[in-house]
Structure 1
């Protein structure tokens, strides 16, 4: 079965509605609490639009209206059978997919030899610092989930992201040390190019 074309946000919305009926703002709050706003771009407005689109596709339907105090009424949605099937097909395809993606950082790393070594060390140092800041944020999310006794199945992506960030930070720290000590020549072509053209090395 070919998985339906779902945007990442639509997929996340269907996953939340697979758990229980919700109104879009509750869905937004849940994504933020679970840290999924770090892996899928989400704002309340775009989430409302995605839910409306899912309704047009027949994947969700209205389940009633909810009122909280003096706040405006909010439409609650539930997933349909077609939505359950679409979600399952998309997840099965994505979980088993090992195809190549094209994020910008690996390309920049592949071409880092075009920059002076000092600049590479500086920029990678900035990235490593950012990775550690993100790790601290995920640790806060993990602790909050544990304190509230949220089932681990709902936040395993936090652990996954932590492991990825830790591995990247460790590897990049080693790379920076290699460049600093000279055990890795990050500019192997610079000397040859400079010698051949008379152009000074930056």
Structure 2
């Protein structure tokens, strides 16, 4: 499931033809980088791919003032069909991406076990700061959000809180985890 494809096709379907810069401004206005996996830099590459696939097409070019010439894109009939499919898939698919942290915590460096407490504390502090910042941002933009947008942003808050709770559990069990890791390393050391 591609969020960026869903965004571009939806925007062209709902708002009509527009150029890439307009799509970029729209994504910034909606703060998509804060609550989706869409990056502003990825928009232009996605536009090219959608054009190559025939899901959008260049309608015309325009030049305004001293700005560079811009291609105006519109959604095609194939794009409308793809958008319908993307909307359904987006609602049905559950996406929980694996966190590389999980693999790293199972492959600890035996020479750095004493650093683990400060690393976990820093991670926890970062997550708490992210939550604080995100909630402050939500309060700032709340009056501009539709109910659906508000719920989507709330989903991010719930996920951050779950991450914080898990990290707090990890921090509480860290002394035992370090002891277990040292014992495991000693039992696997061929020199002992």
Place the TM-score, normalised by the shorter chain, in its bin: 0.7 to 0.9
- Encode CA deviations 1:175-197: one digit per residue, 9 max, x unaligned: 21332xx4x44431523653785
Would you tell me which structure has more helix in proportion to its own residues? 2
* 2:110–2:185 CA contact under 8 A, matched in 1: no
Deviations 1:139-187 (A, max 9, x none): 243234323x2323245432211110111112212321332xx4x4443
The number of equivalent residue pairs is 190
- 2:133 is the counterpart of 1:137: yes
Q: TM-score, normalised by structure 1?
A: 0.72
Are 1:175 and 2:170 matched, yes or no?
Answer: yes
Please, which runs of 5 or more residues in structure 1 have no aligned partner?
1-5
Matching residue of 2:182 = 190
The alignment's C-alpha RMSD in Å is: 3.4
Q: Residue 163 of structure 1 corresponds to which residue in structure 2?
A: 158
The residue aligned with 2:37 is 40
TM-score of the pair, normalised by structure 2? 0.75
> Residues 16-72 of structure 1: CA distance to partner in whole angstroms, max 9, x if unpaired?
22331332222222323433224435244x422321221232212345566666544
1:106 to 94, 102, 111: 102
Distance in structure 2 (CA, Å) of the matches to 1:106 and 1:197: 24
Quickly say closer, same or farther: Cα 1:61–1:164, change in 2 above 3 A: same
Q: Which runs of 5+ in 2 are unaligned?
A: none
Runs of 4+ with >6 A deviation? none
Which among 14, 28, 31 is matched to residue 19 of structure 1?
Answer: 14
Does the CA contact (< 8 Å) of 1:65 and 1:74 recur in 2? Answer: yes
Query: Which of residues 52, 60, 63 is equivalent to 1:56?
Result: 52
Give the match for residue 79 of structure 2: 83
Aligned counterparts of 2:148 and 2:155: Cα–Cα separation in 1? 12
